[in-house]
């Protein structure tokens, strides 16, 4: 809508003595079509002009009476607002043309050109299965990369694997004591997790195990061959398993730089902090006191010399700035780590690094699985791979029932199943905790990916029936789309570019996800009221163009969320 708002901005700016961008910013969407399409609120002017907002709106209405623009046809006051009415035939023509000519690029922008954005996401912990705990970071991080890239940013996706730390000492002890090569080969990740759990159970009865684990981790840190061999084995097996999940989800990282990647940078990092004079010894440990900032001390080295998660994150931030010269670095990590990132940013600030504020934590809430169709074996973690497989299976059952003769069932089941999991997450404001409910995420008439995918497939089928994959443009098409439902749909399509840029600016894929629900809903209302394949020639052609534009927006929008839009389902 930006384009049309600017036109109104140019007409109003001289009358209200505000700059065009400011007018554009103030324009609102009226609650009902009868009140026009864009409303200028007069409250801000009231104080300056010492007049009531309604009187100002009335005066502006008088100055613009009889006037019009290219895209708006009249302006009329209503209470404290001056309402603008779009010239729909012209506006609809313009929008349809933009969408259809833009094709796969409709919605993209180059606003972010020149930006280099590091996105740290997914980041599961090795030796633990890829559980649902990491589902949110994975799908939100991936959607953000796609959304930001559509704005012209260069995104560098980094999988900050948890592949270092004292747990590896524990794993080595457990494997040496109870490990079985055969079982490890069969089902590596579950077996590693079994050993991890067993270690903790046995260590309760036998605390000496903890000490042994600590020593093994020390050996690993020193680079002793035996320890390193075990660690490499555990890491490789885990990563191979994670790759299957990423493949299924169509996710490619620029780098799998886990925590271990920074091992040989830790001494330099600590030295740098010491040289800046912000570190101090405290009971044998090395810390940065952050009390003044209301934060707990940032510990960089423990009494026994071991470094911490935070030390590695500091080293990683310095490395990333040095290597990629990012303009922003996003950390798509659960809200429970808020304090950690506050400490990290504060230490970077105290180091005098002006880019510290460009390190941005993008937090999200917890995900919980509603018990039900997903039976979990007791004591087992819910694996992401199982969730995805389950979703595909359920989608297959539904499709089988709804459309038994469908040719490409398998790929439709994948698109719908994976879409359900992704959208079930992305359609919620990320900061909220979510409950994952199988019934809800796969409900074809609910606020789901399937609902949107279904609208898309339906349009594909109408166009197939019309024998036109890409209907031909004709001048004046917009003039035929005068029904309320048609106007509403065109207006919704016009909002797409703004929704993407809002989602990008606030790191909220949910803005785009909710919007796509609106598009599908407006399409269904239209389709209910306005038959496409009957009626006179021009109307039919105009409606075919309209639905082709809807299909385009649905496809591009789902694509930015990492969700496929099958042509049939």
Nearest approach, Cβ of residue 309 and ligand ARG (Å): 7
Q: CB-wise, 234 or 331, nearer to ligand ARG?
A: 331
The 3 state secondary structure assigned to 134-194 is HHHHHHHHHHHHHHHHHCCCEEEEECCCECCCCHHHHHHHHHHHHCCHHHHHHCHHHHHHH
**H or E, element range at 2:** helix 2-16
Q: Using CB under 6 A, pick the residue from 125, 145, 427, 448 that binds ligand ARG.
A: 125
Please report how close the Cβ of residue 462 comes to ligand ARG at its closest, in angstroms: 45
- 447 is a contact residue toward ligand ARG (CB under 6 A): no
Nearer to ligand ARG, 84 or 121 (CB): 121
Interacting residue with ligand ARG among 94, 120, 221, 522 (CB under 6 A): 120
Contacts of 75 (CB under 8 A, 6+ apart): 11, 60, 61, 64, 65, 67, 82, 83, 84, 85
Q: What are phi and psi of 420, to 5 degrees?
A: -60, -45
CB of residue 133 to ligand ARG, shortest distance in Å = 7
The span of 119-127, 175-183, 439-447, 495-503 binding ligand ARG (CB under 6 A) equals: 119-127
Residue in this structure with the two tokens 């330099």, named with its chain if needed: 268
Q: How far is the CB of 253 from ligand ARG (least distance, A)?
A: 13
Contact with ligand ARG (CB under 6 A): which of 11, 117, 203, 333? 333
Q: Which is nearer to ligand ARG, 133 or 297 (CB)?
A: 133
- Pairing outcome for strands 279-282 and 285-288: antiparallel
Q: Is 440 exposed, middle or buried (0-12, 13-18, 19+ CB in 10 A)?
A: middle
CB closer to ligand ARG out of 120 and 486: 120
Task: Find the shortest distance in angstroms from Cβ 237 to ligand ARG.
Answer: 17
- Binding segment toward ligand ARG, per CB under 6 A, in 107-115, 120-128, 177-185, 288-296: 120-128
Cα-Cα-Cα-Cα dihedral sign, residues 147, 150, 151, 157: positive
Give 160 or 422: the residue with its C-beta nearer to ligand ARG.
Answer: 160
- The residue (of 221 and 313) whose beta carbon lies closer to ligand ARG is 313
By C-beta, is 331 or 364 nearer to ligand ARG? 331
313 part of the interface to ligand ARG, by CB under 6 A: yes
Q: How far is the CB of 287 from ligand ARG (least distance, A)?
A: 19
3-state secondary structure 40-77: EECHHHHHHHCCCHHHHHHHHHHHCCCCCCCCEEEEEE
Q: Are 511 and 502 in contact (CB under 8 A)?
A: yes
The CA–CA distances, whole Å, from 202 to 174, 180, 211, 218, 376 equal 9, 17, 13, 21, 24
Separation between Cα atoms, residue 514 and residue 140, nearest integer Å: 14
User: CA-based diameter of the chain, in Å?
Assistant: 89
CB-based contacts of 162, cutoff 8 Å, min separation 6: 123, 124, 125, 126, 258, 259
Q: Over 382-396, what HEC string results?
A: CEHHHHHHHHHHHHH
Which residue, 311 or 448, is less far from ligand ARG as judged by CB? 311
Q: Which residue lies nearest ligand ARG, judged by its C-beta?
A: 162
Supply the minimum distance, in Å, between the C-beta of residue 332 and ligand ARG. 8
Minimum distance from residue 320 beta carbon to ligand ARG (Å): 10
CA distance 389 to 191: 20
Q: Which residue number, 125 or 492, has a Cβ lying nearer to ligand ARG?
A: 125
Q: Which of 331, 364, 436, 507 binds ligand ARG (CB under 6 A)?
A: 331
CB of 85 to ligand ARG, least distance (A): 50
Q: What is the total count of residues that contact ligand ARG (CB under 6 A)?
A: 8
Question: Using an 8 Å Cβ cutoff, are 126 and 239 in contact?
Answer: yes
Q: Which stretch binds ligand ARG (CB under 6 A): 118-126, 140-148, 230-238, 373-381?
A: 118-126
The label of the residue with tokens 């996706």 reads 157
Closest distance between ligand ARG and the C-beta of residue 325, in Å? 18
Q: State the minimum distance, in angstroms, from the CB of residue 37 to ligand ARG.
A: 44
163 binds ligand ARG (CB under 6 A): no
| Long-range CB contact pairs, 305-311, < 8 A, 24+ | 306/166, 306/217, 306/218, 306/221, 307/266, 307/270, 309/165, 309/259, 309/340, 310/340, 310/343, 310/344, 310/347, 311/266, 311/269, 311/270
Distance between CA atoms of residues 540 and 400, nearest Å: 33
Would you count residue 307 as binding ligand ARG (CB under 6 A)?
Answer: no
From 117-125, 203-211, 247-255, 554-562, span contacting ligand ARG (CB under 6 A): 117-125
Indicate whether 123 belongs to the interface with ligand ARG (CB under 6 A). yes
Assigned token pair, 513: 């996800």
Q: How far is the CB of 263 from ligand ARG (least distance, A)?
A: 15
The token duo for 461 is 């089928």
For ligand ARG, the binding residue among 160, 235, 422, 430 (CB under 6 A) is 160
69, 162, 419, 424: residue in contact with ligand ARG (rule CB under 6 A): 162
CB 223, min distance to ligand ARG, A: 22
Binding mask 64-103 for ligand ARG (x = CB under 6 A): ----------------------------------------
Residue with tokens 């600030």: 349
Task: Specify the residue, 125 or 307, whose C-beta has the smaller distance to ligand ARG.
Answer: 125
Query: In the bound complex, what is the minimum distance in angstroms from residue 120's beta carbon to ligand ARG?
Result: 5
DSSP conformational letter for 475: T
- Provide the minimum distance between the beta carbon of 47 and ligand ARG in the complex, in angstroms, as a whole number: 47
Footprint on this chain of ligand ARG (rule: CB under 6 A)? 120, 123, 125, 160, 162, 313, 331, 333
């Amino acid at each position: 809508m930006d384009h049309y708002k600017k036109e109104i901005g140019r007409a109003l700016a001289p009358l209200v003595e505000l700059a065009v961008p400011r007018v554009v910013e103030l324009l609102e969407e009226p609650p009902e079509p009868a009140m026009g399409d864009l409303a200028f609120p007069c409250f801000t002017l009231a104080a300056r002009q010492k007049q009531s907002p309604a009187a100002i709106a009335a005066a502006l209405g008088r100055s613009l009476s009889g006037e019009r623009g290219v895209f708006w046809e009249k302006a009329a006051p209503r209470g404290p607002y001056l309402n603008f009415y779009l010239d729909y035939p012209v506006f609809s023509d313009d929008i349809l043309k933009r969408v259809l000519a833009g094709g796969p690029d409709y919605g993209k922008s180059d606003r972010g050109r020149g930006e280099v954005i590091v996105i740290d996401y997914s980041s599961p912990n090795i030796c633990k299965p890829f559980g649902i705990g990491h589902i949110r970071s994975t799908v939100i991080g991936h959607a953000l990369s796609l959304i930001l890239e559509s704005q012209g940013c260069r995104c560098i996706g980094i999988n900050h694997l948890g592949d270092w730390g004292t747990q590896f000492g524990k794993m080595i002890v457990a494997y040496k004591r109870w490990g079985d090569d055969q079982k490890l080969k069969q089902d590596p990740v579950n077996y590693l997790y079994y050993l991890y759990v067993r270690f903790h159970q046995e260590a309760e009865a036998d605390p000496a195990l903890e000490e042994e684990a600590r020593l093994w981790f020390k050996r690993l840190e020193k680079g002793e061959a035996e320890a390193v061999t075990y660690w490499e084995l555990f890491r490789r097996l885990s990563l191979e398993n994670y790759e299957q999940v990423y493949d299924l989800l169509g996710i490619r990282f620029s780098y799998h730089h886990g925590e271990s990647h920074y091992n040989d940078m830790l001494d330099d990092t600590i030295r740098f902090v010491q040289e800046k004079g912000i570190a101090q010894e405290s009971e044998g440990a090395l810390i940065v006191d952050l009390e003044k900032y209301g934060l707990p001390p940032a510990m960089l080295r423990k009494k026994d010399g071991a470094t911490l998660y935070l030390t590695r994150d500091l080293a990683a931030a310095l490395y990333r700035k040095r290597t990629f010269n990012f303009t922003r670095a996003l950390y798509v990590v659960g809200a429970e780590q808020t304090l950690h990132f506050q400490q990290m940013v504060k230490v970077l600030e105290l180091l005098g690094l002006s880019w510290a504020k460009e390190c941005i934590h993008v937090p999200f809430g917890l995900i919980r699985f509603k018990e039900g169709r997903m039976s979990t074996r007791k004591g087992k973690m819910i694996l992401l791979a199982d969730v995805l497989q389950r979703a595909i299976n359920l989608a297959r059952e539904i499709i089988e029932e709804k459309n038994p003769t469908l040719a490409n069932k398998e790929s439709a089941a994948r698109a719908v199943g994976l879409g359900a999991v992704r959208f079930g997450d992305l359609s919620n404001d990320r900061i909220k905790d979510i409950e994952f409910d199988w019934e809800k995420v796969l409900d074809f008439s609910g606020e789901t990916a399937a609902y949107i995918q279904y609208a898309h497939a339906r349009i594909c089928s109408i166009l197939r029936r019309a024998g036109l994959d890409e209907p031909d443009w004709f001048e004046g098409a917009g003039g035929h789309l005068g029904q309320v439902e048609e106007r509403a749909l065109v207006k919704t399509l016009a909002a797409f570019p703004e929704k993407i840029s809002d989602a990008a600016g606030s790191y909220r894929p949910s803005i785009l996800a909710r919007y796509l629900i609106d598009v599908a809903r407006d399409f269904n209302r239209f389709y209910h009221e306005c038959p496409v394949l009957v009626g006179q020639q021009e109307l039919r052609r105009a409606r075919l163009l309209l639905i082709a534009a809807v299909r385009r927006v649905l496809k591009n929008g789902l694509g930015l969320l990492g969700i496929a839009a099958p042509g049939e389902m």
